[in-house]
Amino acid sequence: MESTARYHEHIEDCIRSAQHCHDVCLRSAMDHCLHAGEAHVEPEQYCLLMNCVDICQLTANFQTGRSRFSAQLCGLCAEICETAARSCAQIDGMAHCAQACADCAQACRRAGGVHDVNCGYGAA
């Protein structure tokens, strides 16, 4: 019973973290980066930020819908968020975005791990 509760806790944490990261990164892109210019809107940085926005929303949706592909998507989301966290940490005024990305990556890694051990999640 405890492992089931922990499993659901990891999944819910992943959903919350992905939704939060999506919101923070989207607001940062639209409200901060576009107005700040310079490094904030360099194509590679801005594209990475928008990739993070998209993958976080998709990950939250897949988790909520109990998709059988959630574990794979969690791994990809974690990788993108880790990359975005490192990139944002190097740009002035983006510490809050870097932290949201790092938190999301960690939550996705945990959730991806519980998918691997819980055979019933998202079974067709």
CATH number at residue 59: 1.20.1270.360
How many domains are there within the chain? 1
Q: Token pair for residue 73?
A: 């998507």
In a domain, 123, yes or no: no
pLDDT for the residue numbered 3:
74
Torsion, Cα of 48, 62, 5, 110 (10° steps): -30
In a domain, 122, yes or no: no
Distance in angstroms (rounded) separating the CA atoms of residues 14 and 7: 11
Q: Of 44-48, 103-107, 110-114, where does the model show the most confidence?
A: 103-107
| E-assigned strand segments in the chain | none
pLDDT for the residue numbered 64:
93
pLDDT tens digits for range 63-94: 999 899 999 999 999 999 999 999 999 998 99
pLDDT for the residue numbered 115:
58
Output the CA angle 42-43-48, nearest 5 degrees.
105
Q: Token pair for residue 98?
A: 């870097």
Distance in angstroms (rounded) separating the CA atoms of residues 111 and 31: 30
Q: What's the pTM value of the predicted model, to 2 decimals?
A: 0.86
Residue 11, domain extent: 2-117
In a domain, 124, yes or no: no
